[in-house]
Amino acid sequence: MEDASRKARLILGLRQSGVTDNRVLSAIESVPRDMFVPQSMVSHAYDDTALPIDCGQTISQPTVVAWMTAALEVGERMKVLEIGTGSGYQAAILSKLCRRVYTIERHRALLAEAEQRFQELRLSNITSRVGDGTKGWPEQAPFDRIIVTAAAAEPPPALLDQLANGGLMVLPLGDPQGDQSLIRLRRDEQVFHRERIFGVRFVPLIEGEADVERNGCKGLKH
């Protein structure tokens, strides 16, 4: 099957799973997921599954990307922070929906690959850097929306601080090595209202930048 029909089937599946926001579905339709997966996985690029990427990480399942993006209720003029760039796929989708995406990844090698994809796709409203996302991006705060694509037991306090009043944060919370729930927080001054979306499994949110010597990841097989 051609990529185009695989993609059309994926979009139909997302719609059937209850994602009805047409802006979100067209953003997903406009980003070639095949460019964000390893060469060896290209034939699975439009399957509705998470896939392994370098550095022992994963590109999330399209259904989860779609639900997280819809739950964020991103507006055209918004500034969005993403923690965990990974392949860059989620950031690319967000970039179609908002004014600017800031994204942070702790693995330098992953970020380098993601940045190359952003350039090839001319996604010029994404700003990215290597670092510890649990500290957020204080120079650019506050953010209208924050999305965390790695799991923690509790939301990092710096991210709560950097969320604008009235803003939304979507993140997986629970056992970083086990079962987690996708949570949406809505900030009302110093109160954060919590809603559970559904159960998920993400790779753990790890404090600190990855050790370049051991985790450069290039050439490592996971």
Residue numbers 170-199 binding ligand SAH by CB under 6 A = none
Q: Which of 30, 60, 87, 128 is catalytic?
A: 60
Q: Judged by CB under 6 A, which stretch of 39-47, 117-125, 163-171, 205-213 contacts ligand SAH?
A: 205-213
Select 24 or 59, whichever has its Cβ closest to ligand SAH. 59
Q: How far, in Å, CA of 222 to CA of 216, rounded?
A: 13
Of the residues 38, 132, 186, 192, which one makes contact with ligand SAH according to CB under 6 A: 132
**60 tagged catalytic:** yes
Select 165 or 212, whichever has its Cβ closest to ligand SAH. 212
Q: What is the dihedral of CA 22, 150, 160, 110, to 10 degrees?
A: -90
203 binds ligand SAH (CB under 6 A): yes
Q: What is the dihedral of CA 13, 10, 184, 99, to 10 degrees?
A: -140
Residue numbers 98-127 binding ligand SAH by CB under 6 A = 104-107, 110
Residues known to be catalytic: 60
Interacting residues toward ligand SAH by CB under 6 A:
57-60, 83-84, 86-87, 89-90, 104-107, 110, 132-134, 149-150, 203, 205-207
